[in-house]
């Protein structure tokens, strides 16, 4: 169980993630609440917050006190906030179990990051409300994602990744795109990028780097992605509607983060069932090579 000091530090991190997700600078937030900018920085660094000020902060950010305090479940409607929370949680995790399609972001290549901003832009309809802020939001999301990958590569926690063979095949056929109807030359280029990512997953399966386990699932997967994080005896589960693969979604949905024992155990049970029946090692490699062959002319 975390100490009170650690709980206060986590409160500061959540506060920062929600502020960033709302697109607020420390100056703007301080002015709107009626406190100093220095106070915002102190709170986000883990300094204690007065109860009345905490209430004002929660109201201004549009979140419940329980979410801000990390009591029960956090409910997150901003992809930027969610990915920032993942960065914070991953930085303290010893083991990460990922069911996040089409492949775990942490295991993607630098080439994935190079094309991802274009895919995210494509995923936002031209008729979407508040489209004028999309470019800035995507830049911020990419900065957080790159920080997540750098943290993973530096710390190398154990990672268990479950991937769907059907979803990988669909990705190979459609390519790494954010919408349908792109010019054929763009689609052809994006199919090549998707192939490179699947080939990278295949290499990970064959090379078996320390701390990385990949299972290829032939069965149906849940519609929502989720990740389980463990640090010693503590565990959290994050369920997310946000997607970074083909036909990405960074706009609509509600993600949850919780350490409730029942939720963690139920999601762990799903993982055990899928892992037990998934293809691993040579069988998984054969399955992915077949998918690459079958979609070679797509």
- Residue pLDDT, tens place only, 133-166: 788 899 999 999 999 999 999 999 999 999 999 9
pLDDT at 1 over 70: no
Cα(172)–Cα(31) distance, integer angstroms: 49
Residue 4 scores a pLDDT above 60? no
Partnered with residue 239 across adjacent β-strands are 226, 256
> Degrees (nearest 5) of the Cα angle 291, 294, 298?
110
Ordered structural domains, the chain, with CATH: 1-69 (1.10.260.40), 72-294 (3.30.870.10)
Distances (CA, A) of 146 to 13, 113, 262, 275: 18, 8, 32, 28
**Interstrand relation of 234-240 and 255-258 (parallel, antiparallel or unpaired):** antiparallel
pLDDT at res. 49: 87
Please tell me the least confidently modeled range out of 122-131, 192-201, 246-255.
Answer: 122-131
Quick check: 115 pLDDT over 70?
Answer: yes
What percentage of residues in the chain have a pLDDT greater than 90? 62
pLDDT at 8 over 80: no
Q: Residue 223 carries which DSSP code? A: S
What contacts 174, CB < 8 A, 6 or more positions away?
187, 191, 194, 246, 247
Give 249's DSSP letter: B
In the prediction, which pLDDT does 298 show? Answer: 59
Band of pLDDT at residue 11, cut at 50, 70 and 90: confident
pTM, 2 dp: 0.81
Omega into 291 within 30° of 0, i.e. cis? no
pLDDT, residue 135, reads 86
Give the closest residue to 120 by CA, choosing from 106, 7, 105, 107: 105
Which among 128, 143, 104 has a CA at the least distance from the CA of 226?
A: 104
Question: Cβ(111)–Cβ(36) under 8 Å?
Answer: no
Q: Which helix (H) or strand (E) holds 231?
A: strand 225-231
Alpha helix ranges (H) inside 36-160? 37-44, 51-61, 65-69, 79-90, 110-123, 134-155
Distance (Å, whole) CA 197 – CA 4: 43
Look over the chain and give the mean of its residue pLDDT values, rounded to a whole number.
Answer: 90
> Rounded to 5 degrees, what angle do the CA atoms 34, 40, 45 make?
160
pLDDT band at 5 (very low <50, low <70, confident <90, very high): low
Residue 130 has pLDDT above 90, yes or no: no
Q: Residue 292 has what pLDDT?
A: 95
Altogether, the residues listed in the chain come to a count of 298
| pLDDT tens digits for range 27-62 | 999 998 999 999 999 988 888 888 888 888 888 888
State mean pLDDT over 107-134.
88
For 120-130, what is the mean pLDDT? 83
Structure tokens at 67: 């979410």
Q: pLDDT value at position 13?
A: 85
225/170 Cα distance (integer angstroms): 17
Confidence of residue 2 (pLDDT cuts 50, 70, 90): low
Tell me, rounded to whole angstroms, the distance of Cα 153 from its chain centroid: 16
């Amino acid at each position: 169980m975390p100490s009170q000091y650690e709980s206060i530090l986590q409160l500061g991190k959540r506060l920062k993630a929600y502020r960033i997700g709302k697109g607020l600078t420390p100056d703007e937030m301080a002015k709107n609440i009626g406190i100093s900018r220095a106070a915002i920085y102190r709170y986000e660094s883990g300094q204690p917050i007065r109860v009345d000020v905490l209430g004002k902060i929660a109201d201004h950010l549009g979140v419940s006190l329980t979410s801000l305090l990390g009591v029960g479940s956090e409910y997150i409607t901003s992809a930027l906030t969610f990915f920032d929370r993942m960065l914070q949680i991953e930085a303290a995790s010893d083991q990460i179990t990922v069911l996040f399609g089409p492949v775990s972001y942490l295991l993607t290549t630098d080439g994935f990051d190079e094309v991802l901003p274009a895919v995210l832009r494509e995923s936002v309809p031209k008729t979407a409300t508040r489209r004028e802020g999309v470019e800035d939001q995507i830049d911020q999301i990419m900065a957080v994602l790159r920080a997540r990958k750098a943290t993973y590569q530096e710390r190398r926690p154990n990672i268990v990744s479950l991937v769907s063979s059907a979803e990988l095949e669909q990705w190979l056929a459609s390519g790494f795109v954010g919408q349908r109807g792109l010019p054929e030359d763009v689609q052809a280029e994006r199919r090549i990028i998707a192939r490179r990512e699947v080939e990278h997953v295949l290499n990970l399966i064959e090379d078996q780097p320390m701390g990385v386990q990949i299972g290829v699932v032939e069965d149906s997967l849940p519609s929502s992605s989720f990740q389980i994080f463990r640090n010693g005896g503590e565990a959290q589960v994050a369920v997310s509607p946000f997607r970074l693969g083909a036909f990405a979604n960074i706009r609509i949905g509600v993600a949850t983060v919780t350490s409730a024992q029942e939720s963690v155990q139920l999601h762990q049970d799903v993982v055990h069932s899928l892992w037990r029946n998934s293809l691993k090692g040579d069988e998984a490699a054969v399955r992915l090579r077949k998918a690459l062959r079958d979609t070679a002319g797509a």
